[in-house]
Structure 1
Amino acid sequence: MIVWREKFRALLLHFLVTAAVAAVAAAVIFFVWFPDPFQAMMGGTKLFLLISACDLALGPLISLVIYNSKKSRRELITDYSIVGAVQLAALVYGVLSIADARPVYVAFVGTRFEVVAASDLTDENLQAGRDPYRTRPKWGPELIATQMPTDVKERNDLLFSALAGKDIQAQPRYYVPYETAKEELKRRAQPMEALYKHHPEAKQLVQAAKLAVPESELRWLPIQGRGFWTVLLDANGGPPLAYLPLDPYDS
């Protein structure tokens, strides 16, 4: 005779343990790798929900099948060790996949910002970079700028590389400190009126952001992650103040 109360108790306990492990992974993913708003911009939330939903659903459901109070302690330990190992392997694989998709740099590339994912940078490209841009940051994305080469041949090589899918933001050899692009940022950043003209709804998003900078001092540029958003800056070329879930090119 099947004792469903015992099976559901085992399912609940299994679910709570799985949820606790998933919560630890979520803390790393959402507070370190994908700080707000990059979890939405880069799809980190969807990836984690997909992985954790499978882990939370499939693992505990197996308890309904394998748990039986008539089994010996050794049998239960063996069964749950196998299930736990499979769950842990699946979770580790999922977390490593999310780690590859995490943003490591936010790069100003002249007319826009680009979010660079860990998987966008090859080891070869990193080795060709200059310190401190020879590693993939582990504690959230770092803000940088890029500098076009002055050599004509190198510019042509970069053009062909971009056509092959490796644009300047994926090549650390062209990374420079963000502060060095201040004047270029001041020149390239657009007035808010240009954004409001095509996207009147942007005004509400700006007001909701509750920025300390007066609206008259705000500027904007596009930023590309898994799609286009809008980044708000001050008129002096400072670091980003806010990110709006608005595609400025979508008119």
Structure 2
Amino acid sequence: MQQPSVSVGHHTSRLDWRTRLRAATIHLGLSALVAATAALLVFALWYPWPYREISGGRELFQLVVAVDVALGPLITFAIFNRAKPRAELRRDLAVVALLQLAGLAYGLWTVQLARPVHLVYEIDRFRVVHQVDIPEELADRAPAGIAIAAAGGPTLIALRPFRSERERVDFTLEALRGVALAARPELWQPYEAARERVLRAARPVAELKARYPQGAGAIDEALRKSGREPARAAYLPLVARKERAWTVLLDAGTAEVIGFVPLDSF
């Protein structure tokens, strides 16, 4: 009896497809592990809560990682072939890995440049200043003890009072041209020096809850986490990069920042 024929070419093609898929899956797992390590750096150090929301760190990192993590395994799927000489296959995979790591490094560099470096009290509000907001030519004007961009998360500082009416007009005009007052290192001072001004500008949290009754739950939860009673809390608006405005909650007696809520309090 004649045995049924087997298509060797079809069988080989199916095995090749499976081998490529297995190699790409392994590459995807390794890429995800590297991405998870990078996420730890980004969200634990550069964009701690709430800055990952306020400054768009989450979306920026997700974009970088999605492109990088997907691209490497796809290229591996396209080029992996057991029929290649072993040295050639290793070389191809090494090139893919190097390109992927270079792309991730460039993406992390971009995320690092966009990271928030200071939470600045600015006249009657707070403003998040990002590293890219600070003009390079002004970097050497920061006062002693305040770094342009500390290694960790954003530091809390304030603007000093204007020394003259001319200075106020000049810096205000510069702000209208695009350089926010809070992004000018020559105007920075320690937050402690501005506590009295912060307390004078701050408003009772009861006013915020009356204005936004639908946000009362979020306000109460933030106060509960801080251990403050509503009567001991105040608030000021927060200006950040994203369109969605936030509010800073303060201790009404010390001006200490005790929480953040996603409400527009301007």
Query: TM-score normalized by structure 1?
Result: 0.94
Report the 3-state secondary structure (helix = DSSP H, G, I; strand = E; otherwise coil) of the residue aligned with 2:127.
strand
**In the alignment, which of 241, 247, 252 is matched to residue 226 of structure 1?**
241
Q: How much has 1:148 moved relative to structure 2?
A: 2.5
Residues 1:121 and 2:134 aligned together: yes
Give the number of aligned pairs: 249
Report the 3-state secondary structure (helix = DSSP H, G, I; strand = E; otherwise coil) of the residue aligned with 1:7.
helix
**Who wins on radius of gyration, i.e. which is larger?**
2
**In the alignment, which of 194, 197, 221 is matched to residue 208 of structure 1?**
221
Residues 1:160 and 2:163 aligned together: no
Q: How much has 1:130 moved relative to structure 2?
A: 1.2
Structure 2 gaps of 5+ residues are 1-11
Q: How much has 1:207 moved relative to structure 2?
A: 2.2
Q: Deviations over 1:50-80 (max 9, x none)?
A: 1111111121112211111122221111111
Structure 1 residues 56-65 or 149-158, which shifts more?
149-158
Report the 3-state secondary structure (helix = DSSP H, G, I; strand = E; otherwise coil) of the residue aligned with 1:183.
helix
1:214 corresponds to which letter in structure 2?
A: E
Name 1:217's counterpart in structure 2: 232
Structure 1 residues 128-137 or 182-191, which shifts more?
128-137
CA contact (8 A) 1:107 1:145 kept: yes
Alignment CA distance shift 1:133-1:124 (3 Å): farther
Q: Deviations over 1:110-140 (max 9, x none)?
A: 2110000000112221212211235311211
The runs of at least 4 aligned residues of structure 1 exceeding 6 Å deviation read none
Distance in 1 of aligned mates of 2:141 and 2:152: 22
CA contact (8 A) 1:38 1:44 kept: yes
Report matched runs for 1:70-109 at 5 Å: 70-109=83-122
Q: Deviations over 1:197-246 (max 9, x none)?
A: 22112210022222301111111111111232011111113321111112
Name 1:177's counterpart in structure 2: 190
1:221 corresponds to which letter in structure 2?
A: L
**In the alignment, which of 32, 52, 64 is matched to residue 77 of structure 2?**
64
1:56 corresponds to which letter in structure 2?
A: V
Distance in 1 of aligned mates of 2:122 and 2:86: 61
CA contact (8 A) 1:146 1:174 kept: yes
Distance in 1 of aligned mates of 2:233 and 2:100: 48
- CA RMSD of superposed structures (Å): 1.4
Q: How much has 1:164 moved relative to structure 2?
A: 0.9
Identity over aligned pairs, percent: 36
Q: How much has 1:146 moved relative to structure 2?
A: 0.6
Distance in 1 of aligned mates of 2:157 and 2:246: 18
CA contact (8 A) 1:67 1:76 kept: yes
Query: TM-score normalized by structure 2?
Result: 0.89
Name 1:18's counterpart in structure 2: 31
Report the 3-state secondary structure (helix = DSSP H, G, I; strand = E; otherwise coil) of the residue aligned with 1:201.
helix
Name 1:110's counterpart in structure 2: 123
Residues 1:244 and 2:261 aligned together: yes
Distance in 1 of aligned mates of 2:122 and 2:49: 22
Distance in 1 of aligned mates of 2:164 and 2:58: 42
2:258 corresponds to which letter in structure 1?
A: L
Report matched runs for 1:192-207 at 5 Å: 192-207=205-220
Report the 3-state secondary structure (helix = DSSP H, G, I; strand = E; otherwise coil) of the residue aligned with 2:113.
helix
Structure 1 residues 153-162 or 25-34, which shifts more?
153-162
CA contact (8 A) 1:134 1:172 kept: no
Distance in 2 of aligned mates of 1:25 and 1:224: 27
